[in-house]
Copies of this chain bind each other. A is one copy, B any other.
Amino acid sequence: MLIDLGESDGRPIYGRIADRIKFAIAGEVLRPGELAPSVRELSKRLVVNPNTVARAYRDLQAEGLLEPVRGTGLQIASGAVERCRSIRVEFVRGRLRSAFEEARGTGLPAGEIETILHEEWRRGDPNDGKGA
């Protein structure tokens, strides 16, 4: 799970870690009541400074998605799934929106952008070319 942080596109590592946790909650890979992976373990797995993971967890606590359990660790909060689902959708929406805005900002004709859009969208589609 969430071993990979994707490309280092300039976004802070802690933010990407937090996002991954959110998506894992939304996808019910992590369920309410379960413990999030420990800071030490996760930092080893990601080959990242423990402080960085701690920072991600701190942010998640601030958002009410993780709750500390004394002497045990951090537990996924009860209402977390729903909140993460909408976060997830809004995340996607925001990314797409700003990508489109930037693309249009170049002055390229919309048709040309749309062509690229189709190409790139298909490119990552695992079902593409399979059949039907």
Quick one: copies of this chain in the complex?
4
* A71→B70 CA distance, assembly (Å): 31
**What residues of chain B lie closer than 8 Å to A98, measured between beta carbons?**
7, 9, 99
Of all chain B residues, the one with the shortest Cβ separation from A114 is B121
* A114→B118 CA distance, assembly (Å): 11
25 residue pairs bridging A and B, Cβ less than 8 Å apart: A6-B101, A6-B105, A7-B98, A19-B106, A20-B105, A26-B106, A26-B107, A49-B71, A62-B62, A89-B112, A89-B116, A92-B102, A92-B103, A93-B119, A95-B103, A96-B99, A96-B116, A96-B117, A96-B120, A99-B99, A100-B120, A101-B124, A104-B124, A110-B127, A114-B121
